[in-house]
């Protein structure tokens, strides 16, 4: 996948849009957005399907959650391309086939690994590639063969996290063909620079990330060098992210079937160990009150017919807190859910779950 298709967290849908910056030096503006792809993610955090402009892509997996096939289909339903993946007894990819629409093999790649499971050999037809690694298993050299002797070599420099800082491509005599340099900030690429053998600048880009949502960037602007002194924005990538409905445990709840062991003035005790203090009506929790469950979770707010109903604050034993509206014992309407690690969702809740209508704030950002 492209770097703008990488993400973290329980994402279930990722929509990528691209807008080019148009105009001259005096007047530059953002052009209309064009959807590049819609990526649907499965419950394991893996791509499930992709809706592109002219084709759809399906990702298939085995029981071990390994990718086994990528099938690209045209809108007519005909298969455009299929890529098949095969694994050995160590669950390492050893063969990859690219098949045409008629299921004929168009390209075959084979792979071999060392004792550390690092890829050391890749073969495709008459071409093959050999790989070398440092003591930390970071790729440092790549030799490309089109015969008995390597015709090209790629030399890598990495940081301690394994991010690539430099790729230098040299010919069989050691002469430089291409030089690429990269700069990273918190796993995000922020600079990309490239020279050819004649020191002509092929690329000199800076990437600016201006919006984040739950740790994932939503907007990236690419600035490219126009001349020696100036860079201009040339492209904007927008990402729209929909998250899966993953919540902290929403238990315990008070049930009407709980037996009231003791009733006092403005107080109830239940058979499960829960204790309530507050307004009562006909022996039921009604009005303002406070209830605490045996595990330490509690609720303070409005009650109706023995259930949370109205405005209130629900606190879980692990420190998670919801404050907002309730209906028939469930979070319903506008509210704020703060997880104990510091993240907060503010927006619309329906049927005890957050919806996609809201924002997530992270104290670390």
Structure token digits, residue 139: 């790729």
Cβ atoms within 10 Å, residue 125: 9
- % of the chain residues with pLDDT over 70: 91
pLDDT category at 14 given cuts 50, 70, 90 is confident
Q: What is the pLDDT of residue 69?
A: 96
Residue with tokens 């919801």: 322
| 222 in Cβ contact with 235 (< 8 Å) | yes
| 306-359 confidence digits (pLDDT tens) | 899 988 999 998 889 998 889 889 998 878 888 888 888 877 788 888 876 667
Q: Is the pLDDT of residue 81 over 90?
A: yes
Instruction: State the DSSP code for 192.
Output: E
pLDDT category at 19 given cuts 50, 70, 90 is very high
Ranges 95-109, 206-220, 252-266: which has the least confidence: 252-266
Q: What is the pLDDT of residue 211?
A: 80
Q: What is the pLDDT of residue 59?
A: 93
Q: What is the pLDDT of residue 65?
A: 93
- What are the domain boundaries of the chain? 114-199, 260-361
Q: Is the pLDDT of residue 245 over 60?
A: no
Q: What is the pLDDT of residue 55?
A: 87
Q: Which residues, other chains included, contact 8 with Cβ-Cβ below 8 Å and sequence gap of 6+? A: 215, 216
| 35-74 confidence digits (pLDDT tens) | 888 888 888 888 988 888 888 899 999 999 999 999 999 8
If DSSP codes are grouped into helix, strand and coil, which group holds residue 285? strand
Domain 114-199 and domain 260-361 have a common topology: no
Q: What is the pLDDT of residue 261?
A: 55
Q: What is the pLDDT of residue 89?
A: 95
Give the mean pLDDT of the chain.
87
| pTM, 2 dp | 0.65
SS3 per residue for 119-167 = EEEEEECCEEEEEEECCCCCEEEEEEECCCCEEEEEEEEECCCCCEEEE
Ranges 15-29, 126-140, 337-351: which has the least confidence: 337-351
| 18 in Cβ contact with 32 (< 8 Å) | no
| 164-183 confidence digits (pLDDT tens) | 999 999 999 999 999 999 99
Pick the CATH number of 260-361 from 3.40.50.1100, 1.10.260.40, 2.20.110.10, 3.10.450.50: 2.20.110.10
Structure token digits, residue 120: 């050391």
* Element housing 354 (H / E): strand 353-361
- Winning range, highest mean pLDDT, from 108-112, 201-205, 208-212, 353-357: 108-112
* DSSP states along 60-88: EE-TT--EEEEEEEETTS-EEEEEEEEE-
What are phi and psi for residue 5, nearest 5 degrees? -100, 5
Q: What fold, for 114-199?
A: Lipocalin (2.40.128)
| 159 in Cβ contact with 144 (< 8 Å) | no
Mean pLDDT, residues 208-220 = 85
If DSSP codes are grouped into helix, strand and coil, which group holds residue 273? coil
Q: What is the pLDDT of residue 333?
A: 81
């Amino acid at each position: 996948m492209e770097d703008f298709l990488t993400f973290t967290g329980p994402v279930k849908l990722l929509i990528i849009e691209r807008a080019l910056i148009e105009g001259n030096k005096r007047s530059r503006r953002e052009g209309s957005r064009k959807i590049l792809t819609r990526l649907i993610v499965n419950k394991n955090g893996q791509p499930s399907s992709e809706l592109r402009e002219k084709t759809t892509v399906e990702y298939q997996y085995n029981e071990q959650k390994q990718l086994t096939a990528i099938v690209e289909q045209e809108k007519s339903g005909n298969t455009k391309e299929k890529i098949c993946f095969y694994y050995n007894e160590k669950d390492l990819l050893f063969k990859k086939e690219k098949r045409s629409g008629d299921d004929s093999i168009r390209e075959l790649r084979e792979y071999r690994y060392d004792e550390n499971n690092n890829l050391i050999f890749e073969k495709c037809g008459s071409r093959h590639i050999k790989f070398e690694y440092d003591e930390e298993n970071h790729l440092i050299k790549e030799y490309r063969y089109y015969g008995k002797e390597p015709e090209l070599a790629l030399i890598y420099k990495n940081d301690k996290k394994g991010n690539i800082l430099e790729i230098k491509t040299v010919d069989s005599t050691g002469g430089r063909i291409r030089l690429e340099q990269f700069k990273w900030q918190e796993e995000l690429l922020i600079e990309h620079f490239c020279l050819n053998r004649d020191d002509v600048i092929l690329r000199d880009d800076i990437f600016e990330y201006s919006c984040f949502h739950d740790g994932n960037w939503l907007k990236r602007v690419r600035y490219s060098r126009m001349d020696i002194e100036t860079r201009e924005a040339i492209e904007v990538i927008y990402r729209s992210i929909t998250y899966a409905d993953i919540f902290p445990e929403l238990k315990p709840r008070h049930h009407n079937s709980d037996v009231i062991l003791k009733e006092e003035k403005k107080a109830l005790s239940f058979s499960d160990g829960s204790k309530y203090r507050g307004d009562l009506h006909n022996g039921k929790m009604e009005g303002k009150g406070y209830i605490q469950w045996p595990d330490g979770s509690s609720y303070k707010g409005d009650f109706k017919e023995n259930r949370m109903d109205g405005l209130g604050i629900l606190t879980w034993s692990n420190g998670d807190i919801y404050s907002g509206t309730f209906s028939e014992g469930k979070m319903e309407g506008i509210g704020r859910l703060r997880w104990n690690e510091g993240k907060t969702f503010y927006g619309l809740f329906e049927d005890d779950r957050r919806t996609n209508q809201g924002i997530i704030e992270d104290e670390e950002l």
